[in-house]
């Protein structure tokens, strides 16, 4: 198991966002978390990504406990994330955005950089960033300001920035939000390619079609609890899931 | 190779410009230029903090004061050799910034402004009240002349060479930082701390180091100031000076020469106001200057421009400075 979540609990005031959530993600699979609004998907995502501290439970990555670690520590351990609202560095070019994610930038020491003029490290970082851009087909846009790209391409830049750290585990927050069907297909292809190259992907998603066509396993959540977990086929025929999506029951706190 | 070809284009006019006051300047002009160099050192640090990392400090005059007092006390009360006292001047403000920075830098925007303002006011109060160490409002006098390897600096001309030498070295260091991967990480922090953190940048530690660095430069400027005036008192290190420093950093923008341009603009304006204000308002003193600075700051903040210097460079045919600027940031605040 690459990622294991055990008995995760989180509440905001009286609202239960997560209640004893357990899951385990195998290496080299695409694992999707779905559920209706308010199911606790985003909270779960944020706890795994280190942005929110859980009230209880633990998160293990490759066997070591990563509960409560800061996002930059997770990034250095090989867990990268994207944002639903992209959160790109909007004044920078595409290449600069991706460069910022490379170890060349994130691991640079402060004080020596006051005295160094050499740019050799820059070449190395640039090379790494260019490789990622090439993989995602963004080479031609490398020197454009990131704000000039259409939303679908911007989402790829977000993905490229996350990939720049060569992560083992990629966390994607609603990667298909705001994409056209064409762009969605392109993204799905790209994610499948990444998995085949050995990257494990966990994604939180609203769009059922994307998930069913792409994920190896799906976890369905409702009211902060796990409803079921299985292959897309198993999940889509499960009576519990149909009840969650069509029943419209209110959460009972 | 490109750099080799380009550097004389900038360096030669700069060297000529710097040589002009040395050859033709009287003591008044040299004195003003020394002040510009001293403030440029402090503004360079603040510019890295504000324009690059996007963290505002309205208390930087306090760090300048801590450096000035550290140099003065070490040289006067402890009899340290002046050059050693000057070299030690940045340490006290750096230490203070390290202690204060961790809690203060968790704040953002207006709260950060208020916290740094409060820090500056508090330290200014300490300068006035800790009479045993600082001499209170009447200050510390009798700071010995600066001696560099047995050579005593006494004239304006000699101070001009020293302060501009230091200022150029500091500008070079800041430029190195800007162009380094750390500079990129800092502008990422400026744009989105959340995203920078997710990229693997230790934002808290990076902000703290930048704060310490900028405080140390302010302290170095304070030390130079103490030896130049050979007297320190609390009054030059109050809120007024903090606003001046912010104005210098904002006016200068992110260009490598920005801090010098910003410092020159503010110091020249201040000299002009000292002459012009009493003509308009009889009996007007330094307090009227803050009205002008405040207005200038408001106007610039509203424009959110790239700094006066950045704009000028943008309009030049090469436009290289402007590009370099754009990699920094468009938001002074």
- Confidence class for position B288, pLDDT limits 50, 70, 90: confident
pLDDT at B85 over 90: yes
| Cβ-defined contact of A70 to B197 (cutoff 8 Å) | yes
- Confidence class for position B226, pLDDT limits 50, 70, 90: very high
Question: In CATH, what is the architecture of A1-78+168-253?
Answer: 3-Layer(aba) Sandwich (3.40)
Number of domains composing chain B: 1
Closest CA to A222 of A16, A5, A4: A16
- Confidence class for position A250, pLDDT limits 50, 70, 90: low
> Has residue B121 been placed in a domain?
yes
List pLDDT tens digits, range A216-233.
Answer: 999 999 989 999 999 999
pLDDT at B320 over 60: no
pLDDT at B316 over 60: no
| Cβ-defined contact of B195 to A89 (cutoff 8 Å) | yes
Using a CB–CB cutoff of 8 Å, tell me whether A118 touches chain B: no
d(CA B276, CA A85): 52
Q: What is the helix (H) or strand (E) element at residue B141, kind and residue range?
A: strand B140-141
**Residue B231, SS3?**
strand
> Has residue B290 been placed in a domain?
no
> Has residue B54 been placed in a domain?
yes
Mutate: best of B171, B181, B332, partner A, most A CBs <10 A: B181
Query: Between residues B238 and A209, which one has the greater pLDDT?
Result: B238
The domain ranges of chain A are: 1-78+168-253, 90-166
Confidence (pLDDT) at B2: 46
- Confidence class for position A206, pLDDT limits 50, 70, 90: confident
Facing residue for A72 by CB, picked from B176, B181, B203: B203
**Residue A61, SS3?**
strand
Confidence (pLDDT) at A239: 87
pLDDT at A72 over 90: yes
> Has residue B162 been placed in a domain?
yes
pLDDT at B328 over 50: no
Facing residue for A106 by CB, picked from B192, B200, B327: B200
Question: In terms of residue numbers, what domain contains B178?
Answer: 25-236
Using a CB–CB cutoff of 8 Å, tell me whether A83 touches chain B: yes
Percent of chain B at pLDDT exceeding 70: 87
pTM for this prediction: 0.90
Torsion of CA A49, A50, A54, A57, to 10 degrees: 70
Confidence (pLDDT) at B56: 92
Confidence (pLDDT) at B41: 98
pLDDT at B1 over 50: no
Alpha helices (runs of H) in A200-238, residue ranges in sequence order: 208-214, 232-237
d(CA B45, CA B102): 18
Confidence (pLDDT) at A19: 93
Residue-level length of chain A:
253
> Has residue B134 been placed in a domain?
yes
- Confidence class for position B17, pLDDT limits 50, 70, 90: confident
- Confidence class for position B293, pLDDT limits 50, 70, 90: confident
Confidence (pLDDT) at A120: 59
What average pLDDT does the structure give for chain A? 90
DSSP classification of residue A145: B
Q: How crowded is residue A159: how many other Cβ atoms within 10 Å of its Cβ?
A: 24
Confidence (pLDDT) at A249: 61
Closest CA to A58 of A99, A97, A120, A8: A8
Percent of chain A at pLDDT exceeding 90: 67
> Has residue B258 been placed in a domain?
no
- Confidence class for position B24, pLDDT limits 50, 70, 90: confident
| Inter-CA distances, B236 with A26, A235, B35, B245, Å | 64, 72, 12, 12
B102 neighbors B80 (Cβ within 8 angstroms): no
List pLDDT tens digits, range B127-147.
Answer: 999 999 998 899 999 999 988
- Confidence class for position B12, pLDDT limits 50, 70, 90: confident
Facing residue for B173 by CB, picked from A96, A115, A165: A115
Chain B residue with the nearest C-alpha to that of A93: B327
Strands A200-204 and A169-173: parallel
Most confident of A109-118, A145-154, B214-223: B214-223
Confidence (pLDDT) at B70: 97
Out of A11-25, B78-92, B280-294, pick the least confident: B280-294
> Has residue B276 been placed in a domain?
no
- Confidence class for position B314, pLDDT limits 50, 70, 90: low
List pLDDT tens digits, range B196-207.
Answer: 999 999 999 999
Confidence (pLDDT) at B330: 38
Which residue numbers of B have CB closer than 8 Å to A's CBs? 173-174, 176-177, 179-185, 187-188, 191-192, 194-203, 206, 209-210, 213, 326-327, 329-330
**Gyration radius from chain B CA atoms:** 19
pLDDT, average across residues B246-254: 90
B59 neighbors B117 (Cβ within 8 angstroms): yes
B219 neighbors B90 (Cβ within 8 angstroms): yes
Closest CA to A195 of A28, A82, A3, A25: A28
pLDDT, average across residues B106-118: 93
List pLDDT tens digits, range A130-175.
Answer: 999 998 989 999 999 999 999 889 999 999 999 999 999 999 999 9
> Has residue B312 been placed in a domain?
no
B167 neighbors B41 (Cβ within 8 angstroms): yes
Confidence (pLDDT) at B317: 47
Chain A residues whose CB is inside 8 A of the B187 CB are 89, 91-92
């Amino acid at each position: 198991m690459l990622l294991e979540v055990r008995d995760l609990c989180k509440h905001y005031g009286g609202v239960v966002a997560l209640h004893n959530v357990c899951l385990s993600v195998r290496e080299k699979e695409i694992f999707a978390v779905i559920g209706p609004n308010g199911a606790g998907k985003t909270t779960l995502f944020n706890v795994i990504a280190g942005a929110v501290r859980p009230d209880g439970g633990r998160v293990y990555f490759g066997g070591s406990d990563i509960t409560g670690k800061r996002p930059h520590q997770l990034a250095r351990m090989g867990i990268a994330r994207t944002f639903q609202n992209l959160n790109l560095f909007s004044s920078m070019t595409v290449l600069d955005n991706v460069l910022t994610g490379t170890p060349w930038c994130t691991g640079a020491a402060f004080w020596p950089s006051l005295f160094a003029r050499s740019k050799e490290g820059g070449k190395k970082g640039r090379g790494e960033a260019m490789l990622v851009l090439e993989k995602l087909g963004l080479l031609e846009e490398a020197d454009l300001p990131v704000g000039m790209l259409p939303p679908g391409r911007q989402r790829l830049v977000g993905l490229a920035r996350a990939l720049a750290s060569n992560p083992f585990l990629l966390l994607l927050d609603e990667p298909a939000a705001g994409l056209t069907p064409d762009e969605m297909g392109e993204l799905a292809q790209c994610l499948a390619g990444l998995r085949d190259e050995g990257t494990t992907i966990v994604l939180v998603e609203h769009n059922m079609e994307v998930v069913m066509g792409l994920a190896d396993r799906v976890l369905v959540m409702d009211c902060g609890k796990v409803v079921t977990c299985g292959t897309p086929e198993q999940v889509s025929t499960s009576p519990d899931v149909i009840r969650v999506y069509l029943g419209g029951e209110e959460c009972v706190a | 190779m490109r750099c080799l070809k380009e550097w004389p284009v900038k360096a030669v006019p700069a060297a000529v410009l710097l040589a002009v006051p040395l050859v033709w300047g009287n003591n008044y002009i040299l004195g003003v230029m020394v002040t510009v160099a001293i403030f440029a050192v402090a503004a360079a640090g603040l510019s890295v903090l504000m324009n690059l990392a996007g963290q505002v400090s309205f208390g930087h005059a306090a760090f300048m004061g801590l450096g000035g007092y550290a140099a003065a006390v070490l040289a006067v009360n402890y009899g340290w050799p002046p050059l050693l006292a000057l070299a030690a001047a940045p340490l006290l403000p750096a230490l203070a910034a390290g202690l204060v920075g961790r809690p203060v830098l968790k704040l953002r925007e207006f709260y950060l402004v208020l916290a740094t303002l409060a820090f500056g006011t508090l330290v200014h109060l300490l300068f006035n009240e800790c009479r045993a160490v600082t001499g209170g409002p009447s200050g510390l006098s009798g700071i010995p002349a600066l001696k560099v390897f047995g050579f005593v600096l006494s004239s304006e001309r000699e101070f001009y060479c020293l302060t501009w030498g230091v200022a150029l070295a500091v500008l070079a260091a800041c430029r190195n930082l800007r162009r380094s991967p750390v500079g990129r990480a800092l502008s990422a922090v400026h744009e989105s701390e959340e995203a920078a953190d997710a990229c693997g940048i230790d934002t808290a530690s990076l902000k703290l180091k930048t704060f310490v660095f900028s405080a140390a430069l302010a302290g170095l400027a304070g030390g130079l100031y103490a030896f130049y005036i050979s007297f320190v008192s609390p009054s030059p290190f109050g809120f007024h000076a903090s606003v001046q420093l912010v104005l210098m950093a904002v006016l200068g923008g992110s260009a490598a020469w920005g801090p010098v341009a910003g410092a020159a603009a503010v110091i020249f304006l201040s000299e002009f106001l000292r002459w012009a204000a009493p003509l308009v308002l009889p009996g007007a003193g330094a307090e009227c200057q803050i009205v002008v600075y405040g207005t200038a700051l408001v106007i610039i903040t509203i424009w959110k421009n790239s700094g006066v210097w950045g704009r000028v460079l943008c309009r030049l045919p090469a436009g290289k400075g402007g590009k370099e600027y754009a990699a920094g940031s468009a938001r002074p605040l």
